[in-house]
Structures are given as C-alpha cells and as structure tokens.
Amino acid sequence: MAITFHPSREATALALDKLKEDGLVHQEAVFNEDADGGLRKEVARRDWHFGRRLGRTALETEIVDAALALVKERGLVGPDADYDRAAVESHRERLKGFDGSWTTLSPTMERLMYMMTSVRSPAHLLELGCFWGYTLGWFAGPCLGATPAVEAERIVGIDLDASMVEKARANFTRAGWEGQVELIAEDARTALDRIDGPFDFVYLEAKFENRQIAAAEAEGFKDPLGPVPHLYLVLLKQLYDRLPDGAWVIAHDNLDWVAKKEMAPYLEFVRDKAHFSESICFDIDDCGMELSVK
C-alpha cells in the first residue's frame, strides 16, 4: 500500500467553508473522514467539489511545506532540501502567458510539482502527454530560464497531437525558454522505442479519455496506433529499464474518479515493492498525484 498525504485539518475546514459559501452543501454539513463519497449532508474526502476547493485554499504553501516534510521524513531527499517559494509566484505569472486550453492543475498541485523538481534536482526529465505545455512548464519549472535553480541536461516533452505540440513550442518561445525543452509530436509508444535513457524524473499525463478521443476525431485527428487501456502502465513498463535506481515517477490524476478504472493497474504496479521502493499518494485536490521511487 502507498502512503497517503492529506492536507491539514485547517485546510480541510477552509475547503468545507467554501463549499458552504458556494451553496453546494448544507450550512450544517460536516466533514466525515470515513465517508465513501457522494453524501450531501456530510462532506467526504472524495467528493469532487470538496477536492476542487481543497486544491485552492489560502494554505497552498503550508500544504506543500508539509508534503516536503513527508518526503524528507521518508528519506527521499536530504534534510536540508528546499525550494524557492517566491519563485513559484513569478513562475506562475510567466505561465499565465501560455496560450492553450483549460487545465486540471490546481494551484496547490502546481506548487507541489515545482517543489518536487526543485528538491529532486533531476538531470533528465521526461513528460509523456505534454499537450500545450502548461504541465511541462510546471514540471520543468525550476530548470527553466537564464539562471535556473536546477541545471538539467535534458528536458523532453512528448504528445501525439502535433497541433498542441506546436502550440507548446510557441508558448515556451514566448516565455523566453526557446531551445531549453525538446518537444516531440508523436505517439509516446513509438517515440520511446528510439529515445535513449536514463531518465531520473518522469511525469505521466498521457491517457485515453473517451471525451478527448471523440473531440479529437471530430477535428480530424486520429491516433494511428489506436487507444489502449491502462496507457499509464503500458508506458511505464516500456520505460522501466531506463529508470535508474532512485528515479522518481509522478502520475497525475491517480485519484480522479473518471480515471479510477484506468489507474487501478498502474497503482497496483507502482505500489508493489518488487517494482518501486516507495509510492506516496498526494491527496491534495480532486485529481491527486502519485509519486513512486524506483
């Protein structure tokens, strides 16, 4: 089983107050830690509206600081590992200039990703499913700019939608990060066949969702290999031998109710000590993130 990180009771209370303010639950509703979800007189951890607000409280920095403390406690980074908190806000302003579409990343998740890259200090970063570049902008954030906090040797983003990759390329150029990221417009399943490792930090965001497939096909885009179930796990197994000992793999949406069935085999694999030494579930918003250490 994975270790699960939850934000503080204070953050939980703020999220519950926002639900009441927005008129989504009864004014006398209380948070029930043991509830399965879907209750409207009680608020459960897996209620979607609760998760959305939990990722957007004023305690964003405190939540990520507590997450960092857990990572240190587990011995995944040194006791002095830290990140530039002020840099997160300036980086966020830079990413507001990205042209794209909606994102499911909550502000707390953005900060968590930035922190993880900062304290891990990876040399070789890989994102599978970079789309228009916003998630990659956060994943690689500390490695970007004229004086990066982390000196990465290689940052690679892959997405099978060529139009989105072109948009990502334009976004990185507009932000002043041209040439710092290698963007590949190709199905990750074929791209990984010819990309050499190692990769010490990998971010998985590539998956097939019915609504995304339908929208893409309506615009004339077709995946040449076709959708497959459990794509996260397919890609991880394809990449596994190129992950050195101690490599970090983060997977977004491990708690998303839409992706629950899709994610189950992946989570079973990474939480098996035969494959990864540690796996931590960060239950900080409606989507969640799983950090697995080889």
CA–CA separation, 249 vs 233, rounded Å?
12
Q: What is the DSSP string of 37-65?
A: S--SSEE-TT-HHHHHHHTTSTTHHHHHH
88 by DSSP, 3-state: which? helix
| Higher-scoring residue by pLDDT: 224, 88 | 88
Respond yes or no on whether the N-terminal peptide bond of residue 229 is cis (omega within 30° of 0). no
Q: Which of 109, 24, 136 is nearest to 283 (CA)?
A: 109
What is the chain's mean pLDDT, rounded?
A: 90
Q: Is the pLDDT of residue 290 over 70?
A: yes
Q: Is the pLDDT of residue 190 over 90?
A: yes
Place of tokens 């690689």: 140
* Cβ within 8 Å of residue 196, ≥6 positions away: 242
CA–CA separation, 134 vs 177, rounded Å?
13
pLDDT band at 262 (very low <50, low <70, confident <90, very high): confident
- Read off the pLDDT of each residue in 130-146 and give the average, rounded to a whole number: 97
pLDDT band at 12 (very low <50, low <70, confident <90, very high): very high
What is the Cα 273 distance to its own chain's centre? 22
pLDDT of residue 255: 93
Q: Is the pLDDT of residue 173 over 50?
A: yes
pLDDT of residue 217: 53
pLDDT of residue 259: 82
- Read off the pLDDT of each residue in 123-144 and give the average, rounded to a whole number: 97
Q: Is the pLDDT of residue 34 over 80?
A: no
Question: What is the per-residue burial (b if ≥16 Cβ within 10 Å, else e) of 108-135?
Answer: bbbbbbbbbbbbbbbebbbbbbbbbbbb
Q: Is the pLDDT of residue 37 over 80?
A: no
- Read off the pLDDT of each residue in 143-165 and give the average, rounded to a whole number: 95
Q: Which CATH class is domain 79-293?
A: alpha beta
- Read off the pLDDT of each residue in 245-253 and give the average, rounded to a whole number: 97
CA–CA separation, 267 vs 191, rounded Å?
24
Domain spans, the chain: 1-58, 79-293
Q: Is the pLDDT of residue 32 over 90?
A: no
pLDDT of residue 211: 47
- Read off the pLDDT of each residue in 186-209 and give the average, rounded to a whole number: 89
CA dihedral 73, 78, 80, 84 (to 10 degrees): -90
Q: Could you give the residue ranges of the DSSP H alpha helices within the chain?
A: 9-21, 48-54, 60-73, 85-95, 107-120, 134-139, 162-174, 188-191, 210-218, 231-239, 260-270
Q: How many CA atoms lie within 13 A of 94 on its CB side?
A: 19
Percent of the residues in the chain that have a pLDDT greater than 90, as a whole number: 75
Least confident segment among 38-52, 112-126, 251-265: 38-52
pLDDT of residue 214: 52
Q: Is the pLDDT of residue 91 over 80?
A: yes
pLDDT of residue 39: 47
Q: How many CA atoms lie within 13 A of 197 on its CB side?
A: 16
Bridge partners (DSSP) of residue 289 are 252, 282
pLDDT of residue 63: 98
pLDDT in tens, 199-210: 999 999 986 554
Q: Is the pLDDT of residue 16 over 70?
A: yes
pLDDT band at 40 (very low <50, low <70, confident <90, very high): low
